[in-house]
Structure 1
Amino acid sequence: MYHTATSINSEQLHEFISKYQHQEKFMAFCKDCHNYNTLWSCPPLQFDANQLLLGFNYIYIIGVKVIYDAETIELANTSDKIKEITTQSLREVKNKLSNILLDLERQIPDSISLASGGCHICQRCSRCDNLPCKYPEKMRHSLDAFGFDLTAITSDLLQIELKWSKDSLPEYYTLIHALLTKHSLGDMLENISI
């Protein structure tokens, strides 16, 4: 059905913020998303995003391309099939990548990960009922919730063009996660693969 390819790059966080964070522009897009104010992982955030970022010095961007084989692309010949294949494959890969990053957080003191898109651990997020997150130890905020330009990040740092579904399944999708750290990890993340 699909295979994956992982790309990783890093930058000092202050440089990354100055190049890629455009909160006003990207928060406007978030407000148009169905996840806005319905998932704890998504805006409006319940904390000062910039204050959280100040506690870290490095950001590691982990991009995973979910590349579909020709047969799967051909089978995705209706909007329902496109949605089904997209949801299943992206959730599988996102769950694997999220678990790898949660493991890394346990190994690396003073680190935290950011995820691709909204959290879907629960069928219905407790935020819809004005209740706290049920799984704060697993839920991670989306990278875009901090107002980062994901298109520019993937293009500049990973040399990947983001693809989107219109009337057919694209050749690939890209999930973009990040790991924030206080100290450089050197080549520690080199062997991550999904």
Structure 2
Amino acid sequence: MKLPVKVRLKQLKKATLFEAYKNEEVLGYCQRCNNYGKNFSCPDFMFDTTSYLEPYNYATIIMTEIDTQPIKAQIDKLEIANLSSRVFNNYIKEKPDEVVDISSAISMYAFNDIKDQMTDKLIEIEKDIDNTVGLPPGSCTKCITCLKQQGQPCIYPETLRYSLEALGFMVSDIYKQCFDLGLGWTKGELPVAFYSCSALMTKEKINETMLLDKLHGIVLNINEA
């Protein structure tokens, strides 16, 4: 099952993006996550997150959207064993007795797949456009176990990036601010759509059509049983 990914953009001045900067509140949510302090892409950081974005003047918010109706129509044909992802593995690693329903497994698989594709796309875009940095969704899952937990340096520092959440931004505010979209949590069932939020920080304004062309080709592929 190959599902198209809709991409929407909203270019902001950095000052406008910072209206959603709520570092203390977001950090509180991060501290409840199993990745806190255990992943190089997650807090707590040894650098100031506002200083990290100091070189840039604009933020292009990138929202991906996947309609889940085709998945719902075929959900009886899907098996958790075919939905392996690092996000899923990290989740059950800390909760070995947790029973994961198929909807949650699909959601984690979809997020992980889009996250990986978006990370690769943003890093390629950085090579094409000077003075940019990408902020992909979620935490880095390149390694089975992040070496931060062993006190060792990251082995992929050239591709280590940070999400908007990790840097202290309230992503729900950004969805509302940029796309007039309020996201609600669902339990035990798939949402109407899967969303993810990334950003490309730039020194100058960029051509949005050009950026959309560079982001073309993202597809969610879910294997049926």
TM (normalized to structure 1)? 0.90
Q: 1:186 to 1:95 in 2, by over 3 A?
A: same
Structure 2 segments unaligned to the other structure (5+ residues)? 80-98, 219-225
**C-alpha RMSD over aligned residues:** 2.0
Map residues 122-141 of structure 1 onto 2, 5 A cutoff: 122-141=143-162
2:168 aligned partner? 147
Structure 1 segments unaligned to the other structure (5+ residues)? none
2:17 matched to 1:12? no
Map residues 32-111 of structure 1 onto 2, 5 A cutoff: 32-68=32-68, 69=70, 70-72=72-74, 79-111=100-132
Q: 1:138 to 1:79 in 2, by over 3 A?
A: same
CA distance in 2, matches of 1:149, 1:63: 14
2:142 matched to 1:121? yes
SS of the counterpart of 1:61? Answer: strand
For residue 34 of structure 2, what is the amino acid of its counterpart?
A: H
Per-residue deviation, 1:107? 0.7
1:190 aligned partner? 212
Per-residue deviation, 1:139? 2.1
Kindly indicate whether the alpha-carbon contact (under 8 Å) linking 1:76 and 1:169 is maintained by their aligned counterparts in 2. no
CA distance in 1, matches of 2:100, 2:4: 22
Q: 1:75 to 1:167 in 2, by over 3 A?
A: farther
Per-residue deviation, 1:74? 5.8
TM (normalized to structure 2)? 0.78
Percent of residue pairs identical: 27
CA distance in 1, matches of 2:170, 2:159: 24
Aligned residues: 193
CA distance in 2, matches of 1:186, 1:11: 13
Query: Which structure: larger Rg?
Result: 2
Kindly indicate whether the alpha-carbon contact (under 8 Å) linking 1:164 and 1:173 is maintained by their aligned counterparts in 2. no
Per-residue deviation, 1:109? 1.0
Per-residue deviation, 1:159? 3.2
CA distance in 2, matches of 1:180, 1:157: 15
Per-residue deviation, 1:90? 1.8
For residue 131 of structure 1, what is the amino acid of its counterpart?
A: Q
Kindly indicate whether the alpha-carbon contact (under 8 Å) linking 1:23 and 1:146 is maintained by their aligned counterparts in 2. yes
CA distance in 2, matches of 1:159, 1:121: 33
